[in-house]
Amino acid sequence: MSRKDNSARTYGQTPYSPQLETLMLAEFANEPLTDFTVPADRQAMGAALERARGEFGRAWPLAIGGERVTTGAWIESFDPCQPDRVVGRVAAADRGHAEHALNAAWQAFADWSRWTPAARAGVLLRAAALLRRQKHDFSATLVYEAAKTWVEADADTAEAIDFLEFYAREALRLAETQPLTPVAGEHNELVYLPLGVGVVIPPWNFPLAIALGMTAAVLVGGNCVVLKPASLTPVIAARFVDLLEAAGLPPGVLTFLPGSGAEIGDFLVEHPRTRFIAFTGSRAVGTRLYERAARVQPGQRWLKRVVAELGGKDAIVVDETADLDAAAEGIVASAYGFQGQKCSAASRAIVLGAVYADVVQRVAERTEALRLGPAEDPATQVAAVIDGGQYRTVLDYLDVGRREGRLVLGGEPAREPDGSAGWYIQPTIIADVPEDARIAHEEIFGPVLSVLRATDFAHALRVANNTEYGLTGGVYARDRRRLEQARAEFAVGNLYFNRKITGALVGAQPFGGFNLSGTDSKAGGRDYLQLFLQAKVTVERF
């Protein structure tokens, strides 16, 4: 199915105006993906890539209090598939800019927090309509800045649209009269109020969907945001800040504040006027942030709320009753989509002994057939990892993996036939990995799959749970008893049976994990907005 501009469905038959107290909306539905076999869509994406190339090197200033600010210092964003190519650059903020940003955001909060939920939701709905019309342009930026293939970039953009649409509807739902137990002679009321001004720190791997989703959830509740985008992917963040402003977001409600973690990250997290922090990223950074946010600073009047979505060491279990072709396809799709740079990626396959060799062979055949190349090529299935630092980290883990297991496939850097130097690494399979191996426990965040042998299904579940994380997991089996055992015992926030373990859908599959995978939030779920709200109860006796 080809994705069309269906923005009219966003508002049903009711045009939006700021005076409306309610919006008549169709039931939420996920944005369909683009079918690039359709010539018109393929041509449209090609044209968007050409437009994106025409803007290479563009400079983006800070946005503070409705003003554009240049600083004299810049963060450059490079194409991972061609690292000498500058996609764009953004102004780099210092602590003075961060202090100014918090002050300006609190000033804007006084007005924004008084907007009706319908008016705030209307901004998100208009942003969704604008993004839907510009979807290929945003996807093209993702192709060049994040090395996302056409399919991966399109899915990122579709998810961003979903977050806007879903959270707008959630804001309206939470604004309705909340059910309370009646008490004779009293009127009781519960309302949800915004927290204030917070900091949103998104990751580089979903620099549109997650970054925009986190920001939209915070904003629609009446809060103001200081957005510190990932330094590796700041251009796409600059674009969606412009998008939200074009949709009617008032000046100062959203601050665009790129900068290094050392210069402004810790400063914002520890600042006494920061009310909350929404973070998605690595375990190491997230736990450090969590610790720093817990300290009450002089003049601070609240305990800061931290919503942290961290990493995973995700596993797919395959037993002898499974459809082995489906299992192999699901493992490959989960392990190597976006070069394995997803917190939900399958970095472990745990296979029962009776089918172990067969599954390894089937996975290897499919992995070897993957097309490696630049993300801008529509035929590419695996592109470059994000930058030189990640490239070296993955190669270091490959050295460890050769010592800990048996290299089946890959394990080397890769170069394009034309000799271009990008951060390419061959999709890699390491089999016969021991349960206590480093590559079976540490998050690699690259195109590397470890395969472990299980003696029986109970053993497979113990191996799957033998990690400090608990994000995603999967089981391929036809035995209903085993699926129900996994349902009860597999300790992950998102568990998938007989399908790949990446690609959670907003609304249908709220996403977030257990243990050190985060603070148990569920992005794209019905309780996510409440993380950025506080409930007030008023009781009147009559």
186 shares a domain with 43: yes
Asked if residue 102 belongs to a domain, the reply is yes
**pLDDT of amino acid 253:** 98
> d(Cα 182, Cα 160) in Å, to the nearest integer?
40
Question: What is the domain-level CATH number for residue 251?
Answer: 3.40.605.10
142 shares a domain with 12: yes
419 shares a domain with 474: yes
Total number of domains in the chain = 2
366 shares a domain with 278: no
**pLDDT of amino acid 420:** 58
Asked if residue 224 belongs to a domain, the reply is yes
The encoded tokens of residue 172 equal: 């309206």
pTM of the model as a whole: 0.94
**pLDDT of amino acid 352:** 98
Establish whether 376 is a catalytic residue: no
Range(s) of the domain holding residue 91: 8-17+34-310+521-541
Q: What does the pLDDT look like over 24-39, one tens digit per residue?
A: 799 999 999 999 999 9
Asked if residue 429 belongs to a domain, the reply is yes
392 shares a domain with 412: yes
Question: What is the domain-level CATH number for residue 396?
Answer: 3.40.309.10
The encoded tokens of residue 358 equal: 């067969």
SS (H, E, C) 415-450: CCCCCCCCCEECCEEEECCCCCCHHHCCCCCCCEEE
404 shares a domain with 488: yes
> d(Cα 256, Cα 90) in Å, to the nearest integer?
10
Bridge partners, 518 (sequence order):
309
Q: What does the pLDDT look like over 257-315, one tens digit per residue?
A: 999 999 999 999 999 999 999 999 999 999 999 999 999 999 999 999 999 999 999 99
Catalytic choice (343, 376, 404, 443): 343
530 shares a domain with 454: no
Establish whether 309 is a catalytic residue: yes
SS (H, E, C) 84-136: EEEEEEEECCCHHHHHHHHHHHHHHHHHHCCCCHHHHHHHHHHHHHHHHHCHH
> d(Cα 61, Cα 68) in Å, to the nearest integer?
6
186 shares a domain with 330: no
Asked if residue 494 belongs to a domain, the reply is yes
498 shares a domain with 359: yes
**pLDDT of amino acid 13:** 27
Query: Residue-wise pLDDT tens for the chain (542 aa)?
Result: 333 333 332 322 233 344 444 567 999 999 999 999 999 999 999 999 999 999 999 999 999 999 999 999 999 999 999 999 999 999 999 999 999 999 999 999 999 999 999 999 999 999 999 999 999 999 999 999 999 999 999 999 999 999 999 999 999 999 999 999 999 999 999 999 999 999 999 999 999 999 999 999 999 999 999 999 999 999 999 999 999 999 999 999 999 999 999 999 999 999 999 999 999 999 999 999 999 999 999 999 999 999 999 999 999 999 999 999 999 999 999 999 999 999 999 999 999 999 999 999 999 999 999 999 999 999 999 999 999 999 999 999 999 999 999 999 999 998 654 445 899 999 999 999 999 999 999 999 999 999 999 999 999 999 999 999 999 999 999 999 999 999 999 999 999 999 999 999 999 999 999 999 999 899 999 999 999 999 999 999 99
137 shares a domain with 230: yes
288 shares a domain with 319: no
Asked if residue 513 belongs to a domain, the reply is no
**pLDDT of amino acid 2:** 37
Catalytic choice (31, 165, 245, 309): 309
